[in-house]
Amino acid sequence: MIDKKSRYAKVPVFELEGPDGQERHLLELRETPSPGGFFYATPVEGERLDHLAHRYYRDPLKFWRICDASEHLDPFDVVVPGVPVLIPPND
């Protein structure tokens, strides 16, 4: 079961039969939305994505919104002290 706050909550699920005959539930690929409006925040030493998400969204579990707006694939590469981070809107 996917949490209703998850970025995958609205992604369609389809069923597929595996090689062992068992039914599998798979998620379709999720499109990364382009942020409509946004601003930049400059993190300081020791800040992480969950810290920024808590500050701007009041929910540290929404760190993935910041990840999706970033060009980096690794979440640990998103926050570099002194380098501005794109903060998308909280839709």
Q: Is residue 3 one of the residues assigned to a domain?
A: no
pLDDT of 1:
65
Q: Is residue 40 one of the residues assigned to a domain?
A: yes
Residue 34 pLDDT greater than 70, yes or no: no
Residue 52 pLDDT greater than 80, yes or no: yes
Q: Is residue 83 one of the residues assigned to a domain?
A: yes
Most confident by average pLDDT, 6-15, 49-58, 60-69: 49-58
pTM above 0.85, yes or no: no
Q: Is residue 4 one of the residues assigned to a domain?
A: no
Distance of alpha carbon 87 from alpha carbon 69, whole angstroms: 7
Lowest mean pLDDT among 10-14, 49-53, 85-89: 10-14
The answer to whether 53 and 59 have CB atoms below 8 angstroms apart is yes
Most confident by average pLDDT, 15-19, 81-85, 87-91: 81-85
Range of the domain at 39: 13-87
Q: Is residue 6 one of the residues assigned to a domain?
A: no
Q: Is residue 45 one of the residues assigned to a domain?
A: yes
Q: Is residue 57 one of the residues assigned to a domain?
A: yes
Four-point Cα dihedral 76, 88, 69, 61, nearest 10: 40
Distance of alpha carbon 86 from alpha carbon 89, whole angstroms: 10
Q: Is residue 38 one of the residues assigned to a domain?
A: yes
Total structural domains within the chain: 1
pLDDT of 51:
94
